[in-house]
């Protein structure tokens, strides 16, 4: 196992690339706001002579109850969420944003694309969708720097977390550039290794325990601006990973009531907890 005298934050460097593919899975509360933030980031990447594009994937349509807490307008009610966001973002930022009005599948991800960094941004609220995203990380090459990352965004009523990972089978030795004297990380543990409960269905997700609409509203009640906060933190992760080209954290947790936020840094001790033996 890696030994080091001083605990420092070793940066994560993604695979060398000239293009970034952002795949936003889930265009609800967080995803609706994050889509515009990603577009702003794409403009910055283009100014730095790096190609980038955004694909929005969601099988839902806009409902009346979405208007207050999600980034939609009354005129968009009954229209596909992915198409609404893609059309609006394309017009507002002058970008070609792709919409897929369907549920996410690993088939949507093109693997082993030369010179391309793929970032799957998960803004979903169920274990089934997260399982589909997690499965995309199972074929990553642990010997090379990661070219596929999963950024998972989740929140409850007043708190939330943002998690970044790239491998479903994390080995801390092969994750570093040098096992004897590491200077950077080549990949990170999947969010599902950091929080295995992400892949476990909640009671309300099971058809046998299906709750009434009233019960679901009480259970899933969110404060008005929780999605914007989640989006802001996720956007910073994306900026560091793609524009800055390195990142030194892989999990962040926040609470709106206490206005607190803490992040887990990419130290050997922190990442060693997720080493699979």
Residues 6+ apart with CB under 8 A from 126: 201, 202, 205
Of residues 272 and 212, which shows the higher confidence score? 272
Laid out side by side, the sheet with 260-265 consists of: 98-100, 51-57, 19-25, 116-122, 148-155, 159-165, 249-255, 260-265
Whether residue 236 lies inside any domain: the answer is yes
From 127, 77, 130, 135, select the one nearest 111 (Cα to Cα): 135
Structurally, the chain folds into a number of domains equal to 1
More confidently predicted of 6 and 68: 68
The pLDDT assigned to 101 comes to: 97
In a domain, 1, yes or no: no
What is d(CA 65, CA 68) in angstroms, rounded to the nearest whole number? 7
- Report CA-CA distances (Å) from 230 to 34, 36, 90: 9, 13, 23
pLDDT at 157: 84
Residue 13 within any structural domain of the chain: no
Query: Does 11 reside within a domain?
Result: no
Mean pLDDT of the chain: 90
3-state DSSP call for residue 28?
coil
Residue 215 reports pLDDT greater than 60:
no
114 located within any domain: yes
**DSSP letter (8 states) at residue 248:** S
Six token digits for residue 82: 């992915």
Q: Are the C-beta atoms of residues 171 and 103 closer than 8 Å to each other?
A: no
Residue 179 lies in a domain: yes
Please determine, for residue 134, whether its predicted confidence score (pLDDT) is greater than 50.
yes
3 in any annotated domain: no
0.85 cut: is pTM over it?
A: yes
Integer Rg of the chain from CA? 19
Q: Is 263 inside any structural domain?
A: yes
Would you say 78 and 101 are in contact if contact means Cβ atoms under 8 Å apart?
A: no
Tell which residue, 247, 258, 229, 102, has the closest CA to residue 162.
Answer: 229
The residue-averaged pLDDT of 226-238 equals: 95
Query: Residue 217: what pLDDT?
Result: 44
The total number of residues shown for the chain amounts to 277
- Domain containing 29 equals 19-272
Tokens of 111: 């693997």
pLDDT > 70? residue 188: yes
Q: What is residue 140's predicted lDDT score, i.e. its pLDDT?
A: 73
Which of 253, 228, 216 lies closest to 68, judged by CA? 228
pLDDT for 136 beyond 50: yes
CATH number at 43 reads: 3.40.50.720
């Amino acid at each position: 196992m890696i030994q080091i005298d001083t605990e420092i934050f070793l940066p994560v460097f993604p695979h060398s690339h000239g293009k970034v593919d952002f795949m936003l899975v889930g265009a609800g509360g967080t995803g609706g706001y994050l889509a515009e933030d990603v577009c702003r980031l794409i403009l910055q990447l283009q100014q730095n002579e790096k190609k980038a594009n955004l694909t929005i994937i969601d099988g839902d349509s806009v409902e009346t109850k979405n208007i207050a807490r999600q980034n939609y307008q009354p005129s968009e009610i009954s229209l596909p969420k992915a198409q609404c966001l893609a059309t609006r973002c394309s017009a507002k930022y002058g970008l070609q944003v792709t919409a897929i009005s369907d549920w996410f599948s690993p088939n949507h991800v093109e693997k082993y694309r030369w010179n391309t960094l793929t970032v799957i941004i998960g803004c979903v609220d169920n274990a089934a969708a997260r399982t589909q995203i997690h499965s995309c990380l199972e074929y990553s090459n642990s010997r090379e720097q990661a070219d596929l990352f999963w950024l998972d965004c989740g929140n409850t009523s007043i708190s939330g977390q943002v998690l970044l990972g790239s491998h479903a089978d994390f080995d801390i030795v092969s994750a570093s550039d040098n096992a004897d004297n590491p200077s950077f990380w080549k990949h990170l543990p999947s969010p599902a290794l950091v929080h295995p409960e992400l892949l476990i269905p909640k009671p309300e997700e099971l058809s046998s325990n299906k709750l009434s609409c009233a019960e679901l509203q009480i259970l899933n009640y969110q404060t008005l601006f929780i999605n914007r906060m989640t989006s802001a933190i996720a956007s910073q992760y994306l900026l560091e990973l793609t524009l800055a080209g390195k990142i030194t954290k892989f999990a962040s947790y926040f609470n709106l009531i206490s206005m607190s936020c803490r992040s887990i840094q990419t130290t050997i001790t922190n990442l060693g907890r997720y080493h699979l033996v």
